[in-house]
Amino acid sequence: MRALRRLQALPSGMGRLRAFSHPDDRAILRLAVPAFATLIAEPLYVLADTAIVGRLGTRPLAGLAVAAAVLTTVFWLVNSVTVASAGLVARRYGRSDERGAAEVAVSLAWLCVALGAILLVVFVAVPGPVVRAFGASAGAAPDAALYLRISAVGLPFLLCTAPALNYLRGLQDTRTPLLITLAANIVNIVLEVVLVYGFDAGLAGSAWGTVIAQVLAFGAYAWVTVPRVRSTRAARRPRSRDVREIGRLGGYMLVRTLALTAALTGSTAIAARMSDVEVAAHQVVLQLWLLSALALDAIAIAGIALIGKRIGENDRERAESAARRMIRYGVWMGIIIGVVMVATRQWLPGIFSDDRAVQHAAQGALLVSACMQPLSGYAFTLDGILLGAGDTRAMAGLMLLSLVLVFVPAAAIILATGAGLTWLWVAIAVWVASRAVGLAWRYHGARWLVMEVPTDAGPTGAAVPTD
């Protein structure tokens, strides 16, 4: 308690934070901490799943890796589109339009059902070409196709958790998704152990365990969200206005995600042209960077929910206050992660590789990654703030500009000069810095902070925004 009182006594500002002394601090942490635990649960599950299947042999593990890459890519792209709905839900919830908020989730659920049904047919009917397109070898392709065909059964249920997840986030609830995610992952691991080892079902048992867990997770989300949606008397069919709005916001988010993917994939392709040692070291550093992004994404999720709600409430002052404090949290989180990376860079790569050459190559790149963590924290937090405000068009445009004007020329210089892995990560740091500058320009110009001015009443008497 004495330590907490001393911490609270510190002066505020970018240099120091008053821990939990401001109502916004509590609101941010209430949203961000469960969101972080939810985000970190997925990679931990993948590690457990890999360990279970890995004992079956190299080919089943290779098949799992390819099929998981397909499924992860699909879910990542869908989630990048649907995450914009959380801000839309939050803005409607902020102006007390709970029916309108629920109808966003309903419309999005119909879209996910349709997409899930299409993917189910494709993956069940022709899994072979799909896994080969993702690089499956002749030996691993049959196992990859088997896993993908079975997993496709659960894909519609998996995709339909996204509308419920983002609906709850928009309603300022990140605790329920955490509980459901943890429970589903525990059930998944238990089922896989029983089916793979108890019933000797092999790779198919692993896939069916995942499907069952996905169905149960969908059931849990439905049990929580359907009564709340029904209580608002929301339309049961998709509304054209909501579909257009989701399409507009989600379309820009898809462009942003594809640009981000192009930069990360391009960096791996450049490292692969250097040497096997450097691409292996790059993979280690990239995965650590992506892991650190989970902590920063948690603050961004808090930004989506809290900023969206306050814009819906037409509370400009509190929206600006929350944004400022989130930026401080994001930068401080980046500083902490960076310090940890610097302190552990000598032995951290050794966890992932026994090759001393790989470890040495990773250390320099890891130092650059550590130095850019505060910038990453700043940029990631601004992403969440702008997404909460529905400013996805600007986000997409800035990501494309940083890709075309900064990353591509930097990548060309790296290739032309034959510079090593450390310089590749310097180029990545410059790219992140350019993103931070663009987002800062958007944020400090207050172009993102557009209050919703009601013009008429919706079906529930709630205000309908001009946008």
Convert the pLDDT of each residue in 122-132 to its tens digit. Answer: 999 999 999 99
Domain end: 217, 238, 259, which one?
238
Question: Is the domain of 312 the same as that of 349?
Answer: yes
Domain end: 238, 264, 297, which one?
238
Q: Among 42, 69, 298, which Cα is nearest to 185's?
A: 42
Question: Is the domain of 181 the same as that of 281?
Answer: no
For residue 369, give every residue at least 6 positions away whose Cβ sits within 8 Å of its Cβ, in sequence order, or none: 285, 288, 289, 341, 425, 428, 429
For 61-86, how does the pLDDT look when each residue is reduced to its tens digit (9 = 90+)?
888 888 888 888 888 888 888 999 99
Residue 51 in any domain: the answer is yes
CB 352 within 8 A of CB 134: no
Helix/strand/coil percent split, the chain, to 5: 80, 0, 15
Instruction: Record the tokens describing residue 49, joined without a space.
Output: 């799943």
Percent of the chain with pLDDT over 90: 60
Quick one: pLDDT at residue 453? Answer: 47
Residue 368 in any domain: the answer is yes
Question: Is the domain of 224 the same as that of 331?
Answer: no
Question: Is the domain of 348 the same as that of 214?
Answer: no
Quick one: pLDDT at residue 452? Answer: 54
CB 443 within 8 A of CB 418: no
Residue 115 in any domain: the answer is yes
CB 120 within 8 A of CB 155: yes
Quick one: pLDDT at residue 437? Answer: 95
Quick one: pLDDT at residue 455? Answer: 40
Quick one: pLDDT at residue 467? Answer: 35
Coil, strand, or helix at residue 463? strand
**DSSP H helical ranges for 55-174:** 58-82, 84-94, 98-125, 127-133, 141-170
Question: Is the domain of 55 the same as that of 204?
Answer: yes
Residue 6 in any domain: the answer is no
Question: Is the domain of 279 the same as that of 371?
Answer: yes
Quick one: pLDDT at residue 194? Answer: 95
Residue 1 in any domain: the answer is no
Question: Is the domain of 45 the same as that of 184?
Answer: yes
Residue 13 in any domain: the answer is no
**What residues pair up with 409 in beta bridges, in sequence order?**
none
Question: Is the domain of 228 the same as that of 331?
Answer: no
Residue 2 in any domain: the answer is no
Instruction: Kindly give the parts of the chain with pLDDT less than 70.
Output: 1-21, 44, 47, 446-447, 450-467
Q: Among 288, 466, 293, which Cα is nearest to 378's?
A: 293
CA 170 to CA 302: how far, in whole Å?
A: 10
CA 326 to CA 306: how far, in whole Å?
A: 10
Question: Is the domain of 336 the same as that of 416?
Answer: yes
Domain count, the chain: 2
Residue 398 in any domain: the answer is yes
Question: Is the domain of 208 the same as that of 102?
Answer: yes
Question: Is the domain of 352 the same as that of 439?
Answer: yes
Quick one: pLDDT at residue 283? Answer: 81
Domain end: 189, 211, 238, which one?
238
Question: Is the domain of 71 the same as that of 29?
Answer: yes
Quick one: pLDDT at residue 450? Answer: 66
Instruction: Record the tokens describing residue 352, joined without a space.
Output: 């992932």
What is the domain extent for residue 166?
A: 23-238
